[in-house]
């Protein structure tokens, strides 16, 4: 999510350039040197050329991105694109910082235009146009943009371009979109996977490379055309909680626990079967029910065995033929023993 802010310039031009360059991981000049010292000299030469050393020396802008949505290199490239679109004819020194929880760009803009000597004056409407240009660049690079919620005046992450795209899809319009294709592929993989390895393999079969690092909050999908889509972008685009790394991991853990329970139940069923085979009553049960158990899951099989044990203990099995004779002889022997 790229957000543009204007800062108050309290430092001199040279101090402002030193500040943004000192903490930067990447720095470049737009229409000026990539070296901060030479960039300062070039900006001062422009002021000398048009005899405009007085007044405001520069403008300072900051472009901030959402946490874990972008890397410094891409952020720096987007910063240069924005500077070229917005500050035509002005020297701009761009410095990318990654020293906070979010990556951001600093722009030190010379107040004098090097092509015509005009001073940089921007109205609120100009600032709105600059933000709109920034939103367009972010959408083109698969990044979210801020949307003002007029009800509670909060800024939330939302990609208006993607929202309109899927509204058109819902209306029946056929639109090819690698973001939509990725979402469908991930959805299919989730439905067919019981773990991280299965998930990655299923996406691989669909032509996707998956970058999943345990120490990072995001997952990145790369299709055969080298289009990159982050899991967080799918969540924001579709407003779907299942497109969240934490929730996917929780589902995989549930599958793992269910698998362990199933294995444990099957083991318990085997122990009961083996132990009961040594019991004399098992032979009577076998004559009535046979030696084979129905083909069921481990839990059901175990329950069936336990029910058979209870049936034998309660004497509920019916006997016929020779078994009735055996039963009568057992009763007769029992009476003789009592009479004795």
Distances (CA, A) of 303 to 40, 101, 271, 317: 82, 55, 13, 18
pLDDT at 41: 96
pLDDT at 296: 41
pLDDT at 266: 60
Tell me the pLDDT tens digit for each residue of 265-310. 665 554 444 443 444 444 444 444 444 434 444 444 444 444 544 5
pLDDT at 9: 65
Neighbours of 171 (CB within 10 A): 7
pLDDT at 154: 37
DSSP string, 90-116: S-EEEEEE-SSSS-EEEEEEESB-TTT
pTM of the model: 0.48
**Strand bridging mode 26-30 / 92-97:** antiparallel
Per-residue pLDDT tens listing for the chain (340 residues)? 568 888 876 789 999 999 999 989 999 999 999 999 999 999 999 999 999 988 889 999 999 887 777 889 999 999 999 999 999 999 999 999 987 667 899 999 999 999 999 999 888 888 888 888 888 888 777 777 665 443 443 333 444 455 555 555 556 655 556 887 888 888 888 888 888 999 999 999 999 999 998 888 789 999 988 889 989 888 877 777 778 888 888 888 888 777 676 666 665 554 444 443 444 444 444 444 444 434 444 444 444 444 544 554 455 444 444 444 444 444 444 444 444 4
pLDDT at 339: 46
| Chain-centre distance for alpha carbon 258 | 24
Note every long-range contact of 187-196, with CB atoms under 8 Å and residues 24 or more positions apart, other chains counting. Answer: 190/242, 190/248, 190/251, 193/252, 194/252, 194/255, 194/256, 194/259, 195/252, 195/255, 195/256, 196/249, 196/252
3.30.930.30, 1.10.15.40, 3.10.450.40, 3.40.50.150: CATH of 3-150: 3.30.930.30
pLDDT at 4: 85
Q: Where are the domains of the chain?
A: 3-150, 164-243, 262-335
């Amino acid at each position: 999510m790229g957000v543009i802010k204007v800062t108050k310039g309290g430092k001199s031009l040279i101090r402002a350039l030193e500040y943004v360059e000192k903490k930067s991981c990447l720095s470049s000049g737009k229409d000026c040197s990539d070296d901060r010292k030479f960039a300062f000299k070039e900006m001062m030469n422009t002021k000398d050329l048009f005899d405009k050393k007085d007044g405001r020396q520069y403008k300072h802008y900051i472009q901030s991105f959402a946490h874990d949505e972008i890397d410094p290199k891409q952020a720096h490239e987007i910063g240069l694109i924005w500077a070229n679109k917005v500050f035509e004819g002005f020297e701009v020194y761009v410095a990318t910082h990654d020293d906070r929880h979010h990556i951001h760009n600093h722009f030190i803009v010379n107040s004098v235009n090097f092509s015509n000597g005009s001073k940089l004056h921007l109205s609120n409407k100009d600032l709105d146009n600059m933000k709109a240009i920034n939103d367009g660049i972010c959408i083109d690079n698969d990044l979210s943009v801020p949307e003002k919620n007029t009800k509670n005046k909060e800024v939330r992450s939302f990609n208006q371009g993607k929202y309109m795209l899927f509204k058109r899809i819902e209306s029946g319009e056929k639109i090819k979109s690698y973001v939509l294709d990725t979402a469908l592929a991930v959805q299919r993989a989730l439905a067919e996977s019981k773990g991280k390895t299965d998930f990655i393999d299923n996406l691989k079969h669909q032509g996707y490379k998956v970058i999943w690092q345990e120490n990072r909050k995001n997952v990145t999908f790369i299709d055969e055309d080298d289009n990159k889509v982050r899991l967080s972008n799918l969540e924001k685009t579709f407003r779907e909680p299942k497109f969240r790394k934490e929730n996917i991991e929780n589902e995989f853990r549930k599958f793992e626990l269910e698998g362990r329970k199933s294995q444990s139940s099957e083991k318990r069923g085997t122990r009961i079967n083996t132990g009961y085979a040594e019991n004399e009553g098992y032979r009577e049960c076998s004559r009535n029910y046979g030696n084979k158990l129905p083909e069921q899951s481990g839990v059901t099989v175990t329950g069936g065995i336990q029910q058979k044990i209870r049936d034998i203990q309660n004497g509920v099995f019916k006997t016929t033929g020779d078994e009735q004779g055996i039963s009568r002889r057992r009763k007769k022997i029992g009476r003789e023993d009592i009479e004795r």
